Structure 1
Amino acid sequence: MKKSLFITAFSVFTAFISVAQEQTQKPKIEVKPYGYVAWETIFDTYKSVDTRDGELYLYPLKPNIDANGTDVNKKHQLQMLSLTTRLGLKISGPDILGAKTSAMVETDFYATASEYTRLLRVRHAIMTLKWQHSELIMGHYWHPIIVNEVIPSTLAFGAGAPFHSLNRSPQIRFTYYPIEKVRLSATALTQGYHKSMGPAEAQRNSGLPELMAQAAFVKNKSFIFGLSAGYKWLTPRLYITSSNTGTHKTVGQYLFSVFTAANMAKTNIKFETVYGENLTHLIMIGGYGRVTETSADSDYDYANLRTLSTWLDVNHKLGKWSIGVFAGYSKLLGSNKNYSTIASYHRNDDMNYVYRISPRVSYKEENLVLGIEYMLTTAVYGKTFDAQHKVTSSLDPVSNNRITISAKYSF
């Protein structure tokens, strides 16, 4: 009897130990917080197209000449901001479906519109399943035209907008690595708070996602070269007032990009060119509108404005110091159809071209970074246009000088 009780007790004990060992070996969910506190002082010499109290800067406004012949947009401005202060969580969990799983949630105080400035927004919110040769991302993340390895290192918020794309969108993205150093991805996404200019539900009303494909050659962290191609559909209106009838007229719009980056011992060089139709959801100039030959009350077709944008960013480290420069150029190329400014949706379809040169210096001590950046942005607006909205003559250039002094405490 005693022997039987001993065997039973020993069996229960060993079973308990076995379960305990399994529990200790089972992967747990780990959460790691990160982020930074930011402060900036921003000084401008010319009123400009910007948002969030000037945090996101694009380019100078068109000249505004008063009765005395004075350009009233020549006005000094000063602002202090901490809107980009950021808090995030990196989450790792157990293997699921044979994949390593992780997630990321990130927020800041930039908000989703100027009227909500200083309120929290969803910046990133993604879950990731990573297999040996592939990866699946689902959630709210960078538009795939924004490549993590090829983002400008500017101190100013926006990473070089409107020359470099700025967009985060709800999406599902699959990435495949067929061989070492080759990365292929396909993405389906919809527009979130970064929408095309015009009716807010134009992309949703199309019933179709924006589609993006990308191929890249990646050599560790030292070099990357790649190409992107995408297409989206917009249905701006569902009703024709004059005829009291519905319409589902949809317009398609393409985009292409080429990008590269090289990391040497102390120097980093990044370059990108983007070309496409109606790139306004990427915070670029351009748009689309009614074809001129059709009536504004008819079920008309649309003419897309094409935009070319290119930029270069160079950064060099000198111990705790870093020096760098960003240069960008963007031009509105008109349409391949006759374009009407009536019933049009755009971000400055009156622009000819805009360019920027922006040197910077920063100093890092532990988790504190101090920096100063000078930004010269010049815009040249069109004065006259042909039927396809190509510029035939221009106004005099207007320029803004911006100085940003910044501090960032990371954790």
Structure 2
Amino acid sequence: MKILAIDDQQLILLSVEKRLKELGYTVMTANSGQKGMELFDSFDPDLVLVDINMTDMSGLEVVKYIKSKGENKAQVMVMSGNTEENIIIDGFTLGIDDYMKKPVSLDEMAARIKRLIGVPKVNNNVKVTAGARMLQKNCVGVVIPCYNEEERLLSIEFKDFAHKNLGYHLCFVNDGSTDNTLEVLKKLQDGSESNISIYDCAKNGGKAEAVRQGMLFLEKDEQLDYIGFLDADLSTDFRDFDDLVETLDQSSFKIVSGSRMSRMGANITKESARKIISMTINLIIRTILRMPFNDTQCGAKVMDRSVVPILFGKPFITKWLFDVEMFIRMRKHYGKTEAKKLICEQPLKRWIHADGSKLSMKDSVKIVGQLAKIAFVYR
């Protein structure tokens, strides 16, 4: 039994191909609608699995082409993050056999395919990957800056997330670590090269430059819809980061930034001294930005890929306060009124201060001087 999978996002395509081959199907893939139509004629599949929102053409155009081949009886299944009712109706009007809305699990995808074309004879030597694995609605790149994280890096949590959430690409930036961080990252990447990458900086440049290099590296990957960054200690966990992505997807915002505001129903913990210093620094930041931010320095942010060159094209002037510079660059590019409409500050449900933070109390004092420098340079 032969299946043709068409999707312009390689992260999704590789995962789909792997699961279907595990189940015993013969699979061909195409990363564009045009290539898909060309393969359809030569491959003669029993089922076509196609996305709707592709860069070169709509998946509905592919469906029209397939249905124009009257002699071919291939089943057609759409798997897409597009949930517009008119698009779904148009698909069924054209003759599709099923429509799956992302996010969707690989297990559900497999069950629907088996219903349409049956079950192939599985090679008993082939091991089917265990565990619920979800195909995301969007492809998201996440930068994780690392400096001497050998003992703090939560490798199991990162690998487990990458394994289960298909559509996420994790980019670990080794910021010139002097311990065994690079070796730890290579072990973490082993076997997951398609959705975990390592950007190795020859020397330590600070968190700002590490994040900047990682963001520019991921921005080159055209399959990514959104790109963000997250701290290596996972003080903000992936459930909250997923919530930031969902807000970005369901709105016209360009940036969604996490906020560690204490509130009912949220698990937000900080050291008392750090909390007092943070409140003082934040008051100064609000004055400089002239925008009502509660927490610019939360290490969890996600943005539309279109703003990455605007925010990260030039080096930052500070090592720690690049978040403030990001928002100033947004204000300068779009104007204050428009920038306030494009940036969303979303309270986190969970945030835990992790021991071993690289930012000391002495460094906190230096921040005031760096804020003065920012105010002067961006005046």
Whether the TM-score (by the shorter chain) exceeds 0.5 is no
Q: Which has the higher helix share?
A: 2
| Structure of greater Rg | 1
Scaled by the length of structure 2, what TM-score is found? Answer: 0.25
TM-score by length of 1: 0.24
